[in-house]
Amino acid sequence: MRSKTNKFNAVKTTANGIKFDSKYESQVYLKLRHILRLESIHCHHRAAYLGENGPDKRLCISNAYWRVDFMIKDGSKSLFAIEAKGRFTQPDKFKFLLWELYQNIPLIVVHSERNKPRGLHSSGLVHFLVWEQFNLMSGKDLVELVKVIKNRCRG
């Protein structure tokens, strides 16, 4: 029987009992699981594009929420989010822009080098990271990267 695929021919995968939309997303999860405490990783977490203190969502966007691939939390406090992107789509530009304008936590977009985002640059809370760099990181490196992202937004 053929595995189900999505519109980009990504094969749905299960890792550690969790269903992922692609093998790439499951790879990012397994790396996170290797470098962070398991209880701090929340998969397919519902997040508001416009943050908690954004403008009235009914006035701005029809669907004010999306499910980020991974939300890293300390108890109930969200520290940062990670989105695994093997391929970028046009709506991604708007998602990332809204996140950068209204969210108050960093979003790290881990992407494959061959699909480098064109025209997607950030000096704010959205940070683009190539898979090869992410794969070499330790938990301490990831925490330091989050600090750098937060500091550049304050400066």
- pLDDT tens string 104-113: 889 999 998 6
Average pLDDT, the chain: 82
pLDDT of residue 56 exceeding 60, the answer is no
Point out the least confidently predicted range of 28-37, 42-51, 123-132. Answer: 42-51
Residue 50 lies in a domain: yes
Residue 24 lies in a domain: no
- What residues make up the domain containing 130? 40-154
Can you tell me the mean pLDDT for 56-74?
A: 73
Say how many domains are in the chain: 1
Q: What band does 140 get if pLDDT is binned at 50, 70 and 90?
A: very high
Nearest to 15 by CA among 1, 28, 2, 4: 28
Residue 15 lies in a domain: no
Q: d(Cα 15, Cα 26) in Å, to the nearest integer?
A: 6
Higher pLDDT among residues 62 and 86, named by residue: 86
72's enclosing H/E stretch is: strand 65-74
Cβ atoms of 45 and 67 within 8 Å: the answer is yes
Q: d(Cα 87, Cα 18) in Å, to the nearest integer?
A: 21
In the beta sheet, which residues pair with residue 149? none
Cβ atoms of 72 and 40 within 8 Å: the answer is yes
Residue 94 lies in a domain: yes
Residue 135 lies in a domain: yes
Looking at residue 91, its pLDDT comes to: 81
Residue 2 lies in a domain: no
Looking at residue 143, its pLDDT comes to: 92
CB atoms within 10 A of CB 93: 14
Residue 137 lies in a domain: yes
Residue 47 lies in a domain: yes
